[in-house]
Structure 1
């Protein structure tokens, strides 16, 4: 479609333009054959390609029932007809075509591995090309503000730096294969409770520094072909029709030039959404077309706005069409191996007392495997992202496979019913565990508690699974728990196990990955991208969640996740960035490329990282900074970079991290701009947010920025701004016949006691004849 798009748009009628800016059916854009414009296909999801051939290919007429069936499907439905074990040639037909179910966002980000995530993006792109999909609706990078959020399993982290970098890697891999990404959900869609009605009320600093920062970072590093607006309101405005969000921030400030589309049925006022910068309305609705056309005819939506959106749409269509690979065939077996690798890199070892793991025949030859998830693994969340896995590794089968003749493995389900206790099954599990050297118990949260349009009710694992841990631990001291869950859970049972593997939802290769970690074939290296709390009540958003009167106040402000725990000096169950290994790493010899830097500089940090253990392993080194005291409240420390480093046993490597000084800026609402605080910054490097052995300081030299003063500011505030203070001193000296030094000395002496504003202080207490406008002009430097 290498044509003059502006000339093409000029030949189109208003009706044709409206059609171009509206979906066709559920998953396609409009086709306008009279203008040689072909449609493209888009589909979910964030960790797998969910392709419904019936809906997309038109063998059944789409309806609202179809859409509801998509967003309400549960993970167990997606896997119900899958092969019993790895090795089946092809999955049976289900609501969607089989595809690779990669680790979900909450698991994937724990890899902290941008190179590997890029490969996942490439694999998703190849599967999209295989199925004829031009746009994949992901990744999703909303901040995991509360572990109750229903779609937390799709999102990456509580921190925008790791969220943005992981998202950019996935997008780049996907788009390098000729398939567009749709970065979502923009913005502040941090819960599913009444998601199309709730107003996320967020002060501007938190909005920009936490909730928009990940999007900004991902866009800068990957330029996604599309961005998807969210369902919620933001500070009183529907995000799908918010000019501040979609035009001022996204386009004017960040320079994004791609296409913005709505979430499905996410537009409430189509003319307002187009005026705000929401180019494409998805899916097709008669009302959206009618209201937009009427607004155009009435002159309420200028044709220039319509044409601009049409231009973006044609550019997108051209990208997709030029990158089509109709003969592409995805290598699903190879992608399954990649899913195993990703799962293994993402699984987090949270506890390993007495080095119970890895399992060794001389110590734990007899292994009892317990729990239904060992046979029916919980690998993904529920909702529109749910993917029918092409292959499925079942942990029990993989454990038997790797155990071979070196171990004796027995099995009991323990808790066959998710809702009710089964005393006979529980007793059998106790007997099997008692006769073993170690019990490996697979547990999970309830399937379907996560998903769309509703949030989790608590942070517990299934009650039957918790009881299974408790009962087995009474007869078997060596308990290893393998946990599958959408987001953080509380762990009252933690003391009853010696080891804990956190998988989150690790996709179709989870079973093999877990088995290889259990037997030491792989060394665990994942680290948490959220803080795990001791209780739900201690989580930052607890008192303001889920809100009331359709308003959801983000009252914790900047203090999300580890920022909250640090500021309140609380000790969580497990801190952000935490994860154990079968080996140990030491950090030493931190050097900075400079001890004094300017705001345009980039600081290089170098340090020695040594694997002092006896196994090869990988360490995720993390860089945090602490700001000097300033006018604005700051977090105790903030993540600014990371690197995943592979080291052989005994190996030392010099690791370098880059820190652009511009990334130290915080948003100053009074100046409506990003500001770097000058002074001494602290640099911390280490293995988690609470374990940072390396420390250095760097002096950031940049001119201070001040909020403009007014006549009602205090004398103390004036003194803090030297240039403005000098101007006022000169004004007073001219009116009082005193020298500037005398005036300055007197004002400094009086300042602590003068509580009133400047005008009152100067006219009443100092009896000077000064007009309000005159004083404000001097304060502003306009005298």
Structure 2
């Protein structure tokens, strides 16, 4: 395509219109002058809607649901995300989809984030490497990607209005680092900005984020697309680095752009630059996509692939001999999660799966004699006495000591976690734990194994009542078949936790400053996220980062590394041997441990990893590279990463708390620029129950005044405020809110309030900012209505009345 010539053929109105989408899922074709493309949700399958409709998350075509990101990350294998992406790309090409919206690589700041299942890890290196592999593989197939959600989008509560206040070191070292890796190693077609503010500016109009860091520092040359309805102050967005607004907003922002152009706020040069970026990044992709279509996809082969991938993702958390189960033992299965299996999360990533074979059928097909009892219902956490009694009676009647294995299926049900809402604790439903308690009083512990499910860390305090725990995460549509593979020993578990499993929510670093009922989200824990907190402050955990068992054993026999690091890339070699009796895979994790410093620094940091497959008695040496970044921190004065001189320990480990081999290396570099022990003493005190940092010390570390959105008063409300906050401030608002809630009920007839799609929509409306709702509602919520709500909230009642009866949109 000749972009310069194409721009000459477009009118000013067409150039302006080109900057926003066409409907919910397409780019604009300028009245047929250029091709348009289709983009759809991912990231662990293709969610293409059958009939385009704003806000519809259930009406999608059948597609393969692969293991979700939380499961895929536990493989610690970039080949897993690559294979998944290749298959998804094939399904995308069959449906003429040019861009799949994924992967998601936000950092898991808290176990309570309702969307953690869509993200990889609490560690940016692991997350970035897995995302890079996904992107490279999909784009190799000719299908574009959209790396999301950029950035510091680590909670669902008030996600469209909250302000993530992150100090620059934590921002660059933790929350942006995975994005940086993916951008530099894979150059994603697009990058999707998040809904939230970052340090006072919405991501969609944050010039520091979208231009100064993303383009000027990292050299990104793709396109930035808004999350759906995330555009705030549209002119500022495009001047700050946004390239495409999605969806089309029923013309709302197009009118705003045209008015700004007519006022001279947008020049012809700027408009040509912005429209040219759309032509370069989207229209040219449409031309490539036309040549890359497929007519047939082998969905059975893709289901088999999903099964093999999940075999590698599941994590064996405990095993005192109950697994694998020999074929001469009968199996009693307890729990509805074995029948109606939870294999994905709720929200925009929900896939209409092509196959759904549950664990009961799969274990029977594997040759076991299986007795199933429901025990509890997935749609409630209240014990059903009849179901519980039936389960207990089934065990009393059929359990034989040393001849029967009880597989108890439990975990987080769909109402507990999903897009649009967060959890309030790490508990699993009480009806499950109560029944497990009863069963453990009947059967021997050594005969009870748990198969668990969930998209984020949860409570395992019942672990002492069972002999084995096989954690499947949310393993995709073939998870039932994978359970059979792993329980029977056909496959050997090799997953390792990509996140820490805490003892209690009070032990997590951010619990004091997570999901507050206002928009000020202070990341007071700074760089101490996940294991960086637990290891630096010696806080006990249930299962540490990187942990996972196998049916075999491994010995780490040798480590080799240079004695001095002078700035050039180096290699560390680690030798590992399978010392057990069955084939298996081990992930060698390479950590660095710096000397104790007088500045904020984690006691241990992951800097490399490699998964290796070994037969019994087989030994291999793996090579893991390190570079200057491996020994660096972000220097906020120089605005760049600096290698910090000192003596470091390089550790080869089976988990962050299972170090097998060590060696030391002298690193030549810079001295850190200040003594932070005196400046921020709270960070150098014991922190046994999360990071307890004063607001004053965090503000000093943050380096600028903190916001006070929590104290918003009448007169402060505008279109960036949440609908719920605005409507609570006036009688007109409360009446509108009542009508809206009634309308939501009619939209979901027969649905319970705990249904994920219902909760997502309700919370999205309640906590959505008004400008985003105008753009994302398909015309159902107008700017005029929102203006009236804002004027009433600010007590400008006469102006509100005049606006209500005005004939023209402002």
Give the TM-score, by structure 1 length.
Answer: 0.83
Which of 297, 301, 304 lines up with 2:266 in the alignment?
301
Work out the CA distance in 2 between the residues paired with 1:216 and 1:676. 18
Superimposed CA distance per residue, residues 538-587 of structure 1 (whole angstroms, 9 cap, x where no aligned partner): 11111111235410011100000000001110120000000000000010
2:286 aligned residue: 320
Q: What is the CA distance between 1:320 and its match in structure 2?
A: 3.4
- Residue aligning to 1:180: 144
**Equivalent residue number for residue 422 of structure 1:** 384
- What CA distance in whole angstroms lies between the structure 2 residues aligned with 1:357 and 1:703? 51
Q: Deviations over 1:207-258 (max 9, x none)?
A: 1100000000011111100000000001110110000000000000000000
Shift of the alpha carbon at 1:423?
2.0
1:42 corresponds to = 39
Displacement of 1:439: 0.6
| Secondary structure, aligned partner of 2:178 | helix
| SS of 2:352 mapped into structure 1 | coil
For the residue of structure 1 that corresponds to 2:154, the secondary structure is coil
TM-aligned CA distance change 1:327 to 1:339, over 3 Å = closer
User: 1:704: how far off?
Assistant: 4.3
Aligned-pair CA distance for 1:386: 0.3
Give SS of 1:628's match: coil
Q: Contact 1:107/1:346 (CA < 8 Å) preserved in 2?
A: yes
Say whether residues 1:565 and 2:534 are aligned partners.
Answer: yes
Q: Is the 8 A contact 1:274 1:306 kept in 2?
A: no
Is the CA contact (8 Å cut-off) linking 1:418 and 1:462 kept in structure 2?
no
- Asked if 1:521 is matched to 2:487, the reply is no
How far is the alpha carbon of 1:312 from its aligned partner? Answer: 2.1
Counterparts of 1:112 and 1:305, CA distance in 2: 44
Alignment of 1:586 onto 2:581 = no
Contact kept? 2:106, 2:152, Cα under 8 Å: yes
CA contact (8 A) 1:603 1:661 kept: no
Q: What does residue 563 of structure 2 align with?
A: 595
User: Which of 500, 512, 523 is 1:554 aligned to?
Assistant: 523
Q: Partners of 1:494 and 1:707 in 2: how far apart?
A: 45
Q: Which residue of 2 aligns with 1:59?
A: none
Matches within 5 A, 1:235-634: 235-285=199-249, 286-316=251-281, 317-324=283-290, 325-353=292-320, 355-361=321-327, 365-402=329-366, 404=367, 407-416=368-377, 418-419=379-380, 420-434=382-396, 435-436=398-399, 437-477=404-444, 478-592=447-561, 594-599=562-567, 601-630=568-597, 632-634=599-601
Query: For residues 160 and 330 of structure 1, what CA distance do their matches in structure 2 show?
Result: 34
* Residues 1:52 and 2:18 aligned together: no
Cα distance in structure 2, aligned partners of 1:448 and 1:382: 9
| Partner SS for 1:29 | coil
Secondary structure of 1:23's aligned partner:
coil
* Matching of residue 150 in structure 1 with residue 114 in structure 2: yes
**Which residue does 2:712 correspond to in 1?**
none
For each residue in 1:705-749, what CA deviation from the matched residue of structure 2 results, as whole angstroms up to 9, or x when unmatched?
7579xxxx9xxxxxxxxxxxxxxxxxxxxxxxxxxxxxxxxxxxx
8 Å CA contact 2:335–2:373 kept in 1: the answer is yes
DSSP-derived class of the 1:574 partner: coil
- Secondary structure of the corresponding residue to residue 127 of structure 2: helix
Q: Secondary structure, in 3 states, of the residue corresponding to 1:323?
A: helix
Q: Give the Cα separation in 1 of the matches to 2:237 and 2:91.
A: 32
**Partner of 1:761 in structure 2?**
none
Match of 1:29 among 27, 30, 33: 27
Alignment of 1:677 with 2:644, yes or no, is yes
RMSD over aligned Cα atoms: 1.6
Kept after mapping to 2: 8 A contact 1:53/1:97: yes
- Aligned equivalents of 1:464, 1:548: Cα separation in 2: 29
User: Following the alignment from structure 1 to structure 2, what is the Cα–Cα distance between the partners of residues 327 and 570?
Assistant: 52
**Which residue of 1 is the match for residue 737 of structure 2?**
none
Query: CA offset at residue 602 of structure 1?
Result: 1.2
- String of CA shifts for 1:440-474, please: whole Å, max 9, x gaps: 01112121332222111221111111112111111
After superposition, the C-alpha distances for 1:27-85 in whole angstroms (9 at most, x for unaligned) are: 110012453x1110001011110111211xxxxxx3xxx41x42xx5xxxxxxxxxxxx
Alignment partners' CA distance in 1, 2:295 and 2:280: 23
8 Å CA contact 2:536, 2:604 repeated in 1: no
CA shift, 1:397, in A, is 0.3
Q: Is this contact kept in 2: 1:274–1:305, CA < 8 A?
A: no
**Are the aligned partners of 2:36 and 2:286 in contact in 1 as well (CA < 8 Å)?**
no
Within 5 A, what are the aligned runs for 1:9-20? Answer: 9-20=7-18
Deviation string 1:666-708 (CA, Å, 9 cap, x unpaired) is 1011222211111212101111011111101111123547579
- Select the residue among 653, 658, 666 that pairs with 1:691: 658
Aligned-partner Cα distance in 2 for 1:380–1:34:
39
- After TM superposition, give the deviation of residue 311 of structure 1 in Å: 2.1
Q: TM-score, normalised by structure 2?
A: 0.80
Q: Distance in 1 between matches of 2:630 and 2:253?
A: 41
Alpha-carbon offset, residue 631 of structure 1: 5.2
Contact between 1:670 and 1:707, CA under 8 Å: does it hold in 2? no
In 1, are the aligned partners of 2:422 and 2:515 still within 8 Å (CA)?
A: no
Deviates more, 1:672-681 or 1:383-392: 672-681
Contact 1:381 1:448 in 2 (8 A): no
**Greater alpha carbon shift after TM alignment, 691-700 vs 442-451:** 442-451
Return closer, same or farther for 1:34/1:51 CA change in 2, 3 Å cut-off. closer
| Structure 1 residues without counterparts, runs of 5 or longer | 56-61, 74-94, 714-783
1:136 aligned residue (100, 103, 106): 100
State the aligned residue count: 665
Which 4+ stretches in 1 moved above 6 angstroms? none
1:187 shift after superposition: 0.3
Q: C-alpha separation between the residues in 1 aligned to 2:348 and 2:317?
A: 30
Q: Is the 8 A contact 1:129 1:329 kept in 2?
A: no
> Helix, strand or coil for the counterpart of 1:28?
coil
Whole-angstrom distance in 2 between the partners of 1:706 and 1:194: 37
Q: Structure 1, residues 93-145: CA drift from partner, whole Å, max 9, x if none?
A: xx210000011111111011111221111101000001111111111111011
Distance 1:505 1:349 in 2: 14
- What residue number does 2:685 align with? none
CA contact (8 A) 1:229 1:260 kept: yes
- 3-state SS of the aligned residue for 1:54? coil
CA shift for structure 1 position 425: 2.0
How far apart are the structure 2 equivalents of 1:559 and 1:320? 43
Q: How does 1:81-96 map to 2 (within 5 A)?
A: 95-96=59-60
| Cα distance in 1 for residues equivalent to 2:280 and 2:296 | 26
In our comparison, the structure showing a higher alpha carbon Rg is 1
Residue in structure 1 matched with residue 192 of structure 2 by the alignment? 228
Q: What does the per-residue CA deviation read over 1:570-627, in whole Å, with 9 as the maximum and x for residues that have no partner?
A: 12000000000000001021111x211212x111111210000000000011011122
Q: Partners in 2 of 1:614 and 1:582 — Cα distance?
A: 9
